[in-house]
Chain A
Amino acid sequence: NLQEINREGSLCYIENVAEWQQTYYASDSGIQSGATTVLDDESSTEYSGCKKYIGSTTTAPLQVIHYSLTRAQRVRAAMFPETLVEGEEAMPVQSDPSQQSNVQRLAEPSQLLKTAIVHLINYQDDAELATRAVPELTKLLADEDPIVVNKAAMIVNQLTRKEASRRVLVQSPAMVGAVVRAMTMAVDIETARCTASVLHSLSHQKEGLLAIFKSGGIPALVRMLSSPVESILFYAITTLHNLLLHQEGAKMAVRLADGLQRIVPLLKKSNPKFLAITTDCLQLLSYGNQESKLIILANGGPGGLVFITRNYNYEKLLWTTSRVLKVLSVCPSNKPAIVEAGGMQALGQHLTGSSQRLIQNCLWTLRNLSDAATKQDGLDGLLQILVAQLGSDDVNMLTCATGILSNLTCNNSRNKTLVTQYGGVEALIHAVLRAGEKEDVAEPAVCALRHLTSRHQDSELAQNAVRLHYGIPAVVKLLGQPHYWPVVKATVGLIRNLALCPANQAPLREAGAIPRLVNLLLKAHQDTQRHASSAQQTYQDGVRMEEIVEGCTGALHILARDPMNRGEIASMQTIPLFVQLLYSYVENVKRVSAGVLCELALDKQSAELIDAEGASAPLMELLHSNNEGIATYAAAVLFRISEDKSSDYRKRVSVELTHSLFKHDPAAWEMVRRDAGMTPTKEDTAK
């Protein structure tokens, strides 16, 4: 009967319980064996008056009750005479057989109950017996005498072992409610354990789950999570787990009962099977529920989950834990906490095992976390594994590996150097080639290559490695149609970095980079002009065309360092466009266009064209830029186009340049102007 509940997704707790028993139970509670010996509760010594009574009730005659005993004592005496303490001995009642005393009338239901027990003990399955016993047991569970409650609980527990009787129990909301209340009010551990066990048994069926839910079982079970008794904890968490899995409304009820605040601390327990159920509960409660995720965070969830990931080997537990971490990893508040707790390193431990589902979950989680982990130390091992995973044919694995590597190499020179040393460049090129049109692989792979080719001690090595591993044609090809703009943007940036290496200039030219870049630039610029009047920024695939303008011009700037490339760029009638870009409101665009003109102006013919396009005016303005790079390029272009100009012109350039150099030091500027014999202007006095 317990087996029938092993539905898809639920953990096989039968085996768990068996193993649990071996670890924790001193005696057979009857869960596995179905034995009917639960009536003897030698496992508990917490209260007195509890003795074995197997066999003793089968022959005990009807007890006559002493008038001075309390109702509880009388009931106890009727049912379990052997538990009477000294002074409570039964005494015969003188009576007319035809007229029953009140006590005798009261005693009759107890007698029925006793008969029921007798039959149960004798292995008699009878739903009818259970039906007759249920109302009485319900009353007894609410009795003032804890011993009576305890006995009643044990009987009910016994009844749950048999399918027929269990069905009867489940159909009585009053009974289930009484069990819940008895569990909540229990003053002794045994009663608490017994009643928790009853609920646990009932939770294997739909009707049972509903009955528990309707009887306020969830808040009661949540309270039991604070019990110091392991077996009670086990029953409570497992019952809650079943409710969360199969009972509609249970998640909300658990949350409302502050269940998360009670469950998260259980992560400190050390039984792997218990932890597997606990973590699965957390996953069920937090998936898609932001508030739950924040509560888990507030109660130290990330630290507890990372600890488990780092220290356990039980696959099922690692898997359920990874699922919680995956759910939390999309929460902006949990993310940094997981990373700070060492989550990246811990998850990275499980990428080379045999469990595919665990590896995949760890990878997705790492990918989600990666943008918060750019400053983490100790990721050497992880980086090495990820580079190796770039050789995989599994698109999920490739998506994750490229994504994580892209983020971990972002602004982190140490990681960049490590990945380069681990052969990351070659592996990324192969990933790009295999990605085809899968943007989720291509974009991060190209970004990672872009990161590796600049701003670290081995960037030159990486720039050369791209060429040596035949990466240049593949990279340039990414600029072709159809345009997925994030990939185009990343590729343009990579090409710029590749061009920093003189040995790459010719291969880039030969692969046709220049015409592709120029055409992209023209297309993007036209787009920005089309929307300029509407003062609206256009996004395509989430990328602004201004970014493409900046990126292409920046790449052409570096490519123009090579004389042949310079000639090819100028021959495509790009100079008018570059001059126009000097007027851009985007500072970076101003910088790269001044930069490319600076390189082109090295050729006399181009310098004349630049001058003819009226570049002097905007360049004079740019001399005053706060950006020293812009001012430098502008000055250089002006120097170069003024080589053959009159001395007056050159003096004017000089004055403008001086003006910009001394604009923060008016006194010095005044001295220079006096020396040069210049009169002050309104503009100057305002400064």
Chain B
Amino acid sequence: MNREEAPGKSPEDMYVQQKVRVLLMLKKMGSNLTPSEEAFLRNYAGVVHSQMSQLPQHNIDQGAEDVVMAFSRSEAEDRRQ
């Protein structure tokens, strides 16, 4: 059933909108959904459609950033040849 998703409607609509967003975010971050959660998304395909464009574009959870190693803390001993 497609529903209007304009914010400020009923609490039930709010709940659906939030849950759809949370589930879409989970998927975006690579997490799994339960079968009932997948069904929920199929049920509210219209809301899904409108929420998709509002998801942040960047990847949310990519783990710790790369960090450089500082090798030049001490001068390597010089041996004159």
Contact = CB atoms under 8 A, between A and B. Distances in A.
A411 B75 contact: no
B4 interface: no
B1 interface: no
B18 to A, nearest CB: 5
A452 to B, nearest CB: 10
A632 B74 contact: no
Interface in A571-607: 588, 591, 595, 598-599, 602
B72 interface: yes
B52 interface: no
Given A561-B32, A636-B22, A335 B72 contact: yes
B62 interface: yes
Contact of A367 (B64, B65, B71): B71
B75 A357 contact: no
A370 B31 contact: no
Contacts of B14: 654, 658, 672
Nearest to B9: A675
Contacts of B29: 629, 632
Contact of A639 (B22, B67, B80): B22
B69 A371 contact: yes
Interface size class of A (residues with CB under 8 A): 35 or more
B18 A8 contact: no
Contact of A561 (B8, B31, B81): B31
Nearest to A598: B31
Contact of B71 (A288, A403, A658, A676): A403
A636 B63 contact: no
A591 B63 CA distance: 10
B36 A675 contact: no
Contact of B69 (A406, A454, A497, A635): A406
A241 interface: no
B80 A632 contact: no
B71 A632 contact: no
A671 interface: yes
B30 interface: yes
A410 B77 CA distance: 27
A658 B60 contact: no
A374 B56 contact: no
A635 B18 contact: yes
A329 interface: yes
A143 to B, nearest CB: 43
A98 B35 CA distance: 134
Interface string A363-387: 0100111110010000000000000
B22 A635 contact: yes
Interface in A637-687: 639-640, 643, 650-651, 654-655, 657-658, 661, 668, 671-672, 675-676
A643 B39 CA distance: 14
Interface of B: 7-11, 14-15, 18-19, 22-23, 25-26, 29-32, 34, 36-37, 56, 60-76, 78, 80-81
5 closest A-B pairs by beta carbon, nearest first, are: A368-B72, A371-B68, A330-B72, A410-B66, A654-B15
